[in-house]
Chain A
Amino acid sequence: MSNLIKGKKHDWETVIGLEIHAQVKSNSKLFSSSSTTFGSKPNSQVSLVDAAMPGMLPVINKYCIEQAIKTGIGLNAKINNYSIFDRKNYFYADLPQGYQISQYKHPIVGEGKVTIDFKDGSSKDIRIVRLHLEQDAGKSLHDQNPTKTYVDLNRSGVALMEIVSEPDIRNADEAGLYINKIRSILMYLDTCDGNMQEGSLRADVNISVRKPGDDYGTRCEIKNLNSIKFIKQAINYEVKRQIEVLEEGGVIEQNTLLFNTSTGKTRPMRSKEEAHDYRYFPDPDLLPLVIGQSEIENLKNEIPELPDDRKKRYINEYNLSNYDASVLTSDKSVSDFFDSVIKVDSRLKKSSKIVVNWITSELFSLLNENDLEINNSPITPENLGKLVKLIIDDVISGKIAKDVLLEMFKTKKDPDKIIEDKGLKQVTDTSLIETIVDDVIDENHKMVDQYLLGKDKLLGFFVGQAMKKSKGKANPKILNEILKEKLSKKN
């Protein structure tokens, strides 16, 4: 696939880098013991440290450090034994300290990489520059009152991991795949809940365009996007805007932009004259963070099977394609569900592709229609495994299995019980099928004559009639064989 975009004058290449902010899944904040619960009463989870009362001192949360290290390991990144907390200075109503405690020149995690997988089976590495720990700011509500802004400090001081990528991303789809991959790694590690709606995961997107082979163009940064859909929309809009400006002979000004989700457009957030000068310096309230190699090794032992390892296992053990395996592993709960289905019977391993299809097409469409997540599926992995076993054993046809699945969804019943109660077992008894076929031939003399004269297409008609008579229970393979045989004898 070409990554170049056709302009009016020549082709353009898009260069994108992402800064992802992932909230650490912890009980208390990074430097205070206030709760991190989402959606609580405004300003109810604010300690004197979070409110920046004079004389208050930050004390770091050990658990948050460990989660940042684990995430670094999951991103195949270097863990730095020595890192420093700095003050990033700026004034804003939801930042009571007047600075954010962050990490600047010495982050806790250094260079790493993640792999994204495309539909055509190919893949690409996106390099990570760094991951650092920092405090979240409070929340401002601007649209409640014409002259006031309302401020809630509950989120103020919550631990964030900022994950910065190299500008290795070339289009909106790659950006979507990249953020999905990061989200999936975080959720396997359980270091972030990955909830984009609640803002636990959000991204700033840096975008520039250039003629292929040129140096990087001037970039703009779109702030605070909290859904993959908006990220893609914002990128596509901004790329088009930058190309238009440049082709009309203009220049791109380095700007911070906001994306308006209702108009689908970007607009400048701060003008250049007021460009921020953060005046970083080491926070004198905090000593350097020293992490021993043994602590890193201990945390390595706690790392679970990650999406890429699981993907490899699926390819090797179950013979799945790279893409199927990456779709399945991108959501941990789907992948866990698949693992439990496969375990139901040793023979399912060979029919893994059928299992994948029943999960990703049939079960998913039922779940979607009913607005359910796989974790709340009324159909257990055990019962889905039993159903697939019934199909591969030729006990029921794929068509009847869909009805059984629906019944399982509604009643949570065992599929064996459902086909027993409803008498849905596939007919494989050849004498019974022969009788049905004889009846069909007797009742359709004209059609039989036409078929014998060469209208081969009519075979489908006979199969349909016979199926109908068997109430869909005749084994299609046996039925076809008998039908062809009997018709040929008529000649």
Chain B
Amino acid sequence: MKLDTNTINKIAKLARIKLSEEEAEDLLKDMNSILDWVEQLNEVNTDSIEPLANISSSILPQRKDESSDVNSSDEILQNSPDKLEGYFAVPKVVE
């Protein structure tokens, strides 16, 4: 599989990363060589093997349904550049 610049730009857009044309060219080369390397796995026959979600064989740890009231607002909003009456204030996003 070979990527083209359009795909690179699409991935960049989805990740909200702004790329210059040169950066996109560099990344295209890098990502194609990564894909080439990963594609070696295609040589292994995996027809009867279920995809693996996690390499660990441990069991998903679970917790009880107990709530701890933290009254977090001051601490949570501490790093926010803009806030109002307990809310984060962000540039307007309307869909």
- Taking beta carbons and an 8 Å cutoff, which residues of A are in contact with B? 26-28, 33-36, 41-47, 51, 59-65, 84, 89, 91-93, 106, 140-142, 145-153, 258, 269-270, 277, 279, 282, 284, 286-290
Contacts and interface: CB of A to CB of B under 8 A. Distances in A.
B76 A51 contact: yes
Interface string B77-95: 1000010111111111111
B72 A150 contact: no
Contact of B73 (A44, A47, A62): A44
A351 B83 CA distance: 63
**Interface of B (DSSP majority class):** loop
A42 B95 contact: no
Nearest to A65: B62
Report which residue of B54, B71, B76, B94 has the largest number of chain A beta carbons within 10 angstroms of its beta carbon: B76
B64 interface: yes
Contacts of A153: 76, 88
B2 to A, nearest CB: 19
A151 B88 contact: yes
B49 interface: no
B44 interface: no
A147 B92 contact: yes
Contact of A35 (B10, B64, B67): B67
B17 to A, nearest CB: 11
A27 to B, nearest CB: 4
A209 B68 CA distance: 49
A410 to B, nearest CB: 42
B89 A84 contact: no
Size class of the B contact interface (CB-based, 8 Å) = 35 or more
23 contacts: A26-B65, A33-B63, A34-B68, A35-B68, A43-B86, A46-B76, A60-B61, A61-B64, A62-B63, A93-B93, A147-B91, A147-B92, A148-B84, A148-B89, A148-B90, A148-B92, A149-B89, A150-B89, A151-B87, A153-B76, A258-B95, A277-B10, A290-B59
A289 B60 contact: yes
B64 A63 contact: yes
Contacts of A93: 88, 90, 93
A78 to B, nearest CB: 18
B14 A279 contact: yes
Contacts of B82: 148
A41 B2 CA distance: 51
A148 B54 CA distance: 41
Contact of B77 (A43, A282, A284, A287): A43
B65 A34 contact: no
Contact of A42 (B60, B62, B86): B86
A84 B77 CA distance: 33
A232 B8 CA distance: 42
B65 A287 contact: no
A402 B62 CA distance: 56
Given A45-B72, A277-B14, A149 B58 contact: no
B65 A43 contact: no
Contact of A61 (B62, B85, B91): B62
Interface string B31-70: 0000000000000000000000110101111111111111
Contact of A288 (B54, B66, B72, B95): B54
A126 B89 CA distance: 43
B16 interface: yes
B73 to A, nearest CB: 4
A62 B64 contact: yes
A149 B16 CA distance: 19
Given A27-B66, A62-B64, A279-B14, A152 B87 contact: yes
Contacts of A142: 92-94
Shortest 5 CB-CB distances between A and B: which pairs? A63-B65, A150-B87, A28-B67, A42-B86, A62-B62
A351 to B, nearest CB: 44
B90 A33 contact: no
A478 to B, nearest CB: 63
Contact of A149 (B72, B77, B91): B91
A51 B85 CA distance: 18
A283 to B, nearest CB: 9
A60 B60 contact: yes
Report which residue of A46, A84, A141 has the largest number of chain B beta carbons within 10 angstroms of its beta carbon: A46
B14 A43 contact: no
Contacts of B72: 34, 43-47, 51
Contacts of A147: 91-92
B65 A28 contact: yes
Given A61-B65, A62-B63, A151 B92 contact: no
